[in-house]
Structures are given as structure tokens and as C-alpha cells.
Amino acid sequence: MKIMMLGAPGVGKGTIAKRLVARYNTPQLSTGDMLREAVKGGTEVGLQAKGYMDAGELVPDDVVIGVIGERLKRPDVNDGFILDGYPRTIPQAEALAAITDLDVVIRLTASDETIVERLSGRRIAEDGTIYHIKNFPPPPDVKVIQRDDDKEQAIRQRLFVYRKQTAPLVEYYRDKGALKDIDADASRTVDEIFEDCCSVL
């Protein structure tokens, strides 16, 4: 199945995508993770992306379309994949549509208050496990870091950019009949949100 996770920064796309990977044994394609890897490795793409990411801006379409285009050529995606954080603009969605169709677009929704609380408390372990200082505290022996773009000013900018550049994808995929809305607000546990997602697949 070809699945896309859509939703504001910090709504829980990565958390749910990792659980879907485990249940359906299908690869997660996170452009955020790919770009952070490129920054860490000091590659050409990483050098192009770093400034945008730190500022909470989107990396230019041509760069990201190139990264995902290469990834989609690998054979492990032949039976399906979970796109996490891509597409994020209408030109990216059109570039993807020229390569493949999506079966389901899962949109997670939550209030701004919930999102800011989730992002400011997020911590990441070296193996990519996502923790939260209050909701899912890391074990004492696990070393975690805070992402550079999880600081207040970058969070505000990411939310602004989401509304302006990514939110139009909601209508784009609704028109295609692919969109499924899932309530991911603070009153819902990760287990409940995950089961809701599985029920629409």
C-alpha cells in the first residue's frame, strides 16, 4: 500500500509512521530524516538544506523532489511505502503524481497548543527513537538530543509555513478521494490514534 502521512509539524506523523512500519513491514520514507542525514554527512544536498531547516523554512522543491525521486527508484518500495513529510507543497505533490499514485493520505489533526507542547518536549535518541520529556520520557541510560528546529522561534515559523505551503494539500488530496482525517489531539493516546489509522488502511 502507498500511504502518506500529512499534518502539522509535531502532530505525531513520525511516531505513527514507525508503528505502521512495524505492523505492515513496509518502508518509512521521511524526507526530514533523509535531509538530516545529508546535513550530518556534509553532502551537497545537506549543505543546500541546512540553513532552511534550521530556520524552519521548507527546503526548495527541486532539492527535495530530487532526493525522494532517487529513493523511490530503490526496489524495497515496489510493494508500497509510508511517506512521512512528503509531499509538502503542490509542486511536490504534482511531481509525485507523475511517478506514482497514493492509496491513502492520513491527515493527523491536533490543536496548536498540543503541537507546541509536543515539539518543545520532543527528544530523539541516536537510534531514531522519538521520546517526549513528559509523555514518553527516555530511560535514564539513553542519550537523547533536541532537534535544532525544535526551539521556540523555529517552531513558530514551521507552523506558519505549514499553513501557507502545506495545508493546501488537504483539499488537493480530498479532491482525489484519498484523504482520511484522524483526530490526534491531546485527549487521544498513541495506541488509539494508531488503531484509527490501521482501520482506514
The footprint of ligand AP5 (CB under 6 A) covers 7, 9-15, 31-32, 35, 52-53, 56-59, 64, 85-88, 92, 118, 121-122, 130-132, 135-136, 149, 158, 184, 188, 190, 193
Which run of H or of E encompasses 6? strand 2-6
Distance CA 72, CA 99 (A): 9
Q: Which listed residue (2, 123, 158, 180) is catalytic?
A: 158
Residue 178 vs 193, nearer CB to ligand AP5: 193
Whose cell is 509538502? That residue is 88
Residue 79 vs 183, nearer CB to ligand AP5: 183
Residue 20 vs 59, nearer CB to ligand AP5: 59
- 158, 149 Cβ separation under 8 angstroms: yes
- In the complex, the smallest distance separating the C-beta of residue 96 from ligand AP5, rounded to whole angstroms, is 10
Q: Which listed residue (13, 36, 50, 107) is catalytic?
A: 13
Residue 2 vs 88, nearer CB to ligand AP5: 88
Q: Is 147 a catalytic residue?
A: yes
Q: Is 13 a catalytic residue?
A: yes
Q: Which amino acid is it at 185?
A: D
- In the complex, the smallest distance separating the C-beta of residue 15 from ligand AP5, rounded to whole angstroms, is 3
Distance CA 158, CA 166 (A): 10
- 192, 182 Cβ separation under 8 angstroms: no
Q: Is 88 a catalytic residue?
A: yes
- In the complex, the smallest distance separating the C-beta of residue 166 from ligand AP5, rounded to whole angstroms, is 8
Q: Which listed residue (2, 50, 88, 118) is catalytic?
A: 88
Q: What is the CA radius of gyration of the chain?
A: 16
- In the complex, the smallest distance separating the C-beta of residue 99 from ligand AP5, rounded to whole angstroms, is 14
CB neighbour burial string for 148-160, b if at least 16 within 10 angstroms, e if fewer: ebbeeebbeebbe
Q: Which listed residue (18, 71, 147, 174) is catalytic?
A: 147
Distance CA 200, CA 20 (A): 12
Supply the residues annotated as catalytic. Answer: 13, 88, 122, 147, 158
